[in-house]
Structure 1
Amino acid sequence: MEYADSAISNTVRFWLFLIADIPSIGCSIAILYHILSNRTRRHAINNHVVVILLFNNLIYEFIDISLFLNYYRLAVVSPPKESLCLIWTFIDETLYTIATVIVAWASIERHLLIFHDRWYSTPKRRFLMHYLPLTMLVSYILLFHFFAIITPPCKNTYDYTEEICGHPLCFHNNKVIGTFDTIAHDIIPAITIVICSISLLVRVVIKSRHIRKTFQWRKHRKMAIQLLSISSLYCVLYIPVAFIELAQLCCSSNIFSAHFQEYTQFVAYYVVFLLPFVYLVSVIESSWRIKNIFPCWRRTTQTVYPKVLHTTHVAAHQTNTVESIPQN
């Protein structure tokens, strides 16, 4: 059933999601293969966040977006089962939160990787500063949403005529848990992304004035550009949703129109679709660049070879000349 007061019809939503989903999946698989097929890229610390986000995206697109497409096609949840609603709600909430929190952590960690790389100089330090925080964040988010959605302290109610079964998260009605979820998983990550991205940009610009044309700094600058690209995507598409939640939490739930909230929530899903394309430019190595694909774009240089001097022949010739002088 399609609602007349909806700002975007189900048919339009279906095609917008489908057209964006297919190339996004292909791009994600290509980048993952590019990273994981090479040992150096696979072990590079700055690529681990990319791998986690792209795997997270693929699961989201294969399951969650497919359920959205099926709902937009039929206008009802099919099959109308509680188990399907639990899976849909769990994946939608959990994976979206994982992506947001991981990007927020990457915004902090990128400062450490660029300006305090000695903190990662030993395996023990890399474990404490890199692997452990990522593992703890992902595990915490999975556990929190498992207990809040799969085994909630209240009764979820489902509406099979609405997407995500009406988003039946009863724990949102609990003032303590609902407020904690909004602040910890939406507002704080959004603020962290904005502040850390702006400060990283400022630090990189200042540092670039003093250190130029060194291999180490070019590598660090590339890591900074990679993070700033994805942060910009979140700032444009996701931050408005977090801002609406913050305004509703602090002020009033009617401060924004229903259509505006609907548009911002729909557009926020394009963070998932556009993420692999944002990474594409920064992850691809120089061997894939256009100037290496088209030889005519290369600037030809003249190769200078060393000239071989036949000293032996000259010496022999001089000897023969001396020997041929007649003796008086």
Structure 2
Amino acid sequence: MDSTLKFMLLLIFQIPAILVSIIIFIYFALDSTVRSKPKNHIWLVLLILNFLALVSDLPMSMSYYYQGKIWVKNDGYCVWWNWYESSLNTLGLCLMAWASIERHFFIFHSQTIMRVRWKMWMAHYIPILLCFAWILIWNFVFIVVPPICDNIWYFDQLMCGAPCYYTVDNGIYIMIEFIVNIVCPLGVITFANILLITRVIYQKIIHHQAVNWRRHRKMTFQLWLISSVYLAFWLPNTLAAIIRLTIMPTFFIDQYDTLIFIIYFIPLLLPIVCLNTYPELLKK
């Protein structure tokens, strides 16, 4: 895909994504009831990270696609860009994975877990903090202050190329990151969505304990719709990478740049998708 076309696509989607994000933030700011509900916290965190990507990370990539080079030829800039974009991408994936698990608590254990203070902390706040801690520390250690190698940056490549730990020790560190920070969260998202549907059907048919869908269908719909965005744009590159690593080293190698590029559409589309999960906001 041509760099100019990539730039135009990002620009076309970026402007409405920013506007919709601002509308949602205003909605949360003005409605204390919606803002205070724990079930909305994870979406708000994701939207804040998403907004940061739209206004501060995406412009760096757009500048590269527009100019065909890095506009700040500085090692510090390259370190920042790699750390920042990698952190936003994998942190969003990690939080989405936890949101998929957390929805089960809200739907099936709202009385036993989500209303007990210490259980609420264990099942709601602490996992979010752990996601932040794990992703930010991992990327800081291996990108900002790598103890195992020295970064070499290329000012004619997107994100100045890859951090040095990608190739050290036959790529063992990037393999660990790929499995832990990408494959596992995607697996959790997929499994949690399938399990949610299975649990509902099982309780309704086998135990005749139908979930109150009038009360919980919004949460289920939110999870399905928002997680679909992450799966749609992360799975192609992830599955292609797994195939390359296992059975066919050249699989989709010519489409690698495109598969990486489409991940940018997560922050571009997420605000619009989230907006559609709040019908009361659409009515306003």
The more displaced of 168-177 and 218-227 is 168-177
Percent of paired sites with the same residue = 29
What is the aligned counterpart of 1:161 among 151, 156, 160?
156
- Describe the superposition over 1:47-106 as per-residue Cα deviations: whole angstroms up to 9, x where unpaired: 111111111011111121101111122111012111111111111100000000111111
| Coordinate RMSD, CA, aligned | 1.9
Verify: 1:246 aligned to 2:242, yes or no.
yes
Verify: 1:221 aligned to 2:217, yes or no.
yes
* 1:40-55 alignment runs, 5 A limit: 40-55=33-48
What is the aligned counterpart of 2:4 among 1, 11, 15?
11
Verify: 1:197 aligned to 2:190, yes or no.
no
Letter in 2 for 1:185: N
CA contact 2:233–2:263 (8 Å) conserved in 1: yes
Letter in 2 for 1:230: I
Distance in 1, matches of 2:3 and 2:98, equals: 35
For CA contacts below 8 A with separation 6 or more, give which structure has more relative contact order. Answer: 2
The 3 A distance-change label for structure 1 pair 288 and 65 is closer
Letter in 2 for 1:186: I
The 3 A distance-change label for structure 1 pair 251 and 57 is same
Letter in 2 for 1:280: L
CA contact 1:155–1:170 (8 Å) conserved in 2: yes
Verify: 1:262 aligned to 2:274, yes or no.
no
Verify: 1:26 aligned to 2:26, yes or no.
no
The more displaced of 93-102 and 266-275 is 266-275
The 3 A distance-change label for structure 1 pair 288 and 231 is closer
Deviation at residue 207 of structure 1 after TM alignment: 5.4
State the SS of the aligned residue for 1:255: coil
What is the aligned counterpart of 1:121 among 101, 115, 125?
115
Letter in 1 for 2:26: Y
CA contact 1:97–1:141 (8 Å) conserved in 2: yes
Distance in 2, matches of 1:93 and 1:63, equals: 13
Letter in 1 for 2:36: H
* 1:13-92 alignment runs, 5 A limit: 13-92=6-85
Point out 4+ residue stretches in structure 1 off by more than 6 angstroms: none
Distance in 2, matches of 1:80 and 1:72, equals: 15
Distance in 2, matches of 1:276 and 1:246, equals: 29
What is the aligned counterpart of 1:232 among 228, 235, 240?
228
State the SS of the aligned residue for 1:238: helix
Deviation at residue 288 of structure 1 after TM alignment: 4.3
* 1:75-154 alignment runs, 5 A limit: 75-117=68-110, 118-153=112-147, 154=149
Distance in 2, matches of 1:251 and 1:32, equals: 46
Deviation at residue 211 of structure 1 after TM alignment: 6.7
The 3 A distance-change label for structure 1 pair 145 and 11 is same
Letter in 2 for 1:255: F
Residue 276 of structure 1 corresponds to which residue in structure 2? 271
Distance in 2, matches of 1:131 and 1:37, equals: 23
CA contact 1:182–1:245 (8 Å) conserved in 2: no
How many residue pairs were aligned? 278
CA contact 2:64–2:158 (8 Å) conserved in 1: yes
Distance in 1, matches of 2:26 and 2:228, equals: 25
Distance in 2, matches of 1:32 and 1:219, equals: 24
Distance in 2, matches of 1:13 and 1:54, equals: 23
TM-score, with length taken from structure 1: 0.80
Letter in 1 for 2:118: K
Q: Which runs of 5+ in 2 are unaligned?
A: none
CA contact 2:203–2:209 (8 Å) conserved in 1: yes
Deviation at residue 41 of structure 1 after TM alignment: 0.9
Distance in 2, matches of 1:109 and 1:240, equals: 25
Verify: 1:188 aligned to 2:206, yes or no.
no
Deviation at residue 245 of structure 1 after TM alignment: 2.2
The 3 A distance-change label for structure 1 pair 283 and 211 is farther
CA contact 1:211–1:217 (8 Å) conserved in 2: no
